[in-house]
């Protein structure tokens, strides 16, 4: 029946919606009902969550299952019913299978177990069974995936290289994103206040441990966190602490209801304003290029795409190829010189490349790298040129 991206989107929407009730119950268990109402409002409409919960990506399904698993584990700690424990283990297992960094949820789970059972937790057989159910399938799957990456070109295990500590300015950018387009200034400010206000709440330790694990992950996997959605787990954590802040000032009888209304309106304005950036048609030209390639090239064509590593053109073209420049099959940045570009082009031509394409954001290469443009003119034929893209067919032999 063909490719239908809406199926992947529906998966994210359904699991996000499912997690909301469990997130509400989780926060209510920690901070009370008022905090839970505020938390679910902040979590549902934070800009990054609005975008990611409708995207064909694994991040929200993985996070949603982590939230469900965390709440069920919290219930098991309270009542020690085996159904809660095994349901939690199944959710955590699926969460990690979908996205490996979800294993971070093990930190708050361990904090709950140690708080409840102290170090005798290590002697409880049901917790060992929980660990096997949660971790064994993922260990087997990622071992298999690693072997696949070793055996097949381009021998790249997705996510490899992400663990790299970056500069202070790099983390400063992440912090600015958190305070704006990830959470909004309202939720960020309330969460910071809530982190200090909730110190006396014993049950909040699960959130502090989760927060600490996420901060360490962001620092250690600094390069991997160039993708904003890697910080998605901070969404429920911040929303919960922000809810605790709202709960605290709602207890004051002198606090007028208009403050709550003003908070909701201000949060809504910020969420709408910062959320706009996620819905710009930034890859429209690449999509147009991909559809044109699908219509005008054979299925055996191998495409060199100057696309800054964005897979959109190759995806819609339904063709194989390389991001230009490339190294070991992976996008390796734009050329440092014409010689750099020419060398990479000729290496890929020897490996069977049939076309090279540029889109609106890389057309400037043909003006800036003049020697490369001259080489291209003598070794390829321009098949189509529009303001959106250019398609060159490579001649069989270079001059």
Q: What is the pLDDT of residues 224-275, one digit of tens each?
A: 999 999 999 999 999 999 999 999 887 776 666 788 899 999 999 999 999 9
On the CB side of 165, CA atoms within 13 Å amount to 5
Res 255: pLDDT = 60
Res 4: pLDDT = 86
Asked if pLDDT for residue 399 goes beyond 50, the answer is: no
DSSP state of 395: P
Res 64: pLDDT = 98
Q: Measure the CA–CA gap between 111 and 127, rounded to whole angstroms.
A: 13
Q: Mind listing the pLDDT tens digit for each residue in 278-309?
A: 988 878 999 999 999 999 999 999 999 999 99
Q: Could you tell me which of 306, 366, 51, 74 has the C-alpha nearest to residue 207?
A: 74
Contact (CB, 8 A) for 355 and 391: yes
Res 17: pLDDT = 96
Q: What is the DSSP string of 48-115?
A: HHHHHTTSSSSHHHHHHHHHHHHHHHHHHHHH--HHHHHHHHHHHHHHHHH-GGGGGGHHHHHHHHHH
Q: Mind listing the pLDDT tens digit for each residue in 18-49?
A: 999 999 999 999 999 999 999 999 999 999 99
pTM tops 0.85, yes or no? yes
Q: Mind listing the pLDDT tens digit for each residue in 118-176?
A: 989 999 999 999 999 999 999 999 999 999 999 988 888 877 778 889 999 999 999 99
Helix/strand/coil for 306: strand
Res 253: pLDDT = 60
Q: Could you tell me which of 10, 41, 8, 36 has the C-alpha nearest to residue 247?
A: 36
């Amino acid at each position: 029946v063909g490719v239908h991206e809406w199926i992947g989107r529906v998966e994210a929407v359904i699991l996000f919606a499912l997690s909301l009730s469990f997130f509400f119950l989780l926060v209510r268990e920690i901070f009370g009902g008022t905090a839970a109402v505020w938390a679910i409002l902040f979590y549902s409409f934070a800009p990054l969550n609005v975008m990611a919960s409708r995207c064909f990506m694994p991040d929200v399904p993985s996070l949603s299952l982590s939230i469900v698993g965390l709440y069920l584990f919290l219930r098991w700690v309270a009542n020690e019913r085996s159904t809660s424990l095994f349901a939690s283990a199944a959710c955590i297992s699926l969460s990690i299978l979908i996205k490996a960094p979800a294993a971070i949820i093990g930190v708050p789970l361990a904090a709950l177990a140690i708080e409840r059972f102290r170090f005798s937790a290590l002697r409880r057989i049901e917790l060992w069974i929980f660990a096997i159910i949660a971790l064994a399938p993922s260990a087997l799957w990622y071992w298999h995936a690693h072997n696949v990456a070793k055996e097949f070109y381009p021998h790249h295990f997705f996510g490899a290289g992400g663990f790299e500590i970056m500069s202070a300015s790099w983390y400063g950018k992440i912090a600015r994103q958190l305070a704006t387009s990830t959470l909004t200034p309202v939720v960020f400010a309330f969460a910071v206040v809530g982190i200090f206000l909730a110190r006396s709440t014993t049950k909040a330790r699960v959130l502090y441990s989760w927060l600490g694990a996420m901060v360490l992950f962001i620092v250690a996997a600094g390069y991997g966190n160039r993708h904003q959605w890697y910080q998605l787990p901070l969404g429920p954590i911040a929303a919960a602490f922000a809810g605790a802040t709202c709960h605290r000032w709602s207890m004051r009888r002198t606090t007028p209801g208009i403050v709550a209304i003003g908070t909701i309106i201000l949060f809504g304005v910020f969420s709408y304003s910062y959320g706009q950036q996620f819905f710009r048609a930034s890859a429209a030209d690449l999509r147009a290029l991909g559809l044109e390639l699908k219509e005008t090239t054979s299925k055996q064509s191998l495409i060199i795409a100057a696309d800054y590593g964005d897979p959109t053109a190759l995806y819609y073209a339904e063709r194989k190829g390389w991001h230009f420049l490339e190294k070991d099959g992976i996008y390796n940045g734009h050329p440092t010189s014409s010689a750099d570009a020419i060398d990479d082009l000729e290496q890929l031509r020897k490996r069977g490349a049939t076309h090279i394409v540029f889109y609106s954001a890389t057309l400037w290469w043909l003006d800036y790298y003049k020697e490369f443009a001259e080489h291209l003119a003598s070794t390829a034929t321009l098949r189509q040129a529009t303001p959106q893209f250019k398609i060159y067919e490579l001649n069989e032999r270079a001059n």
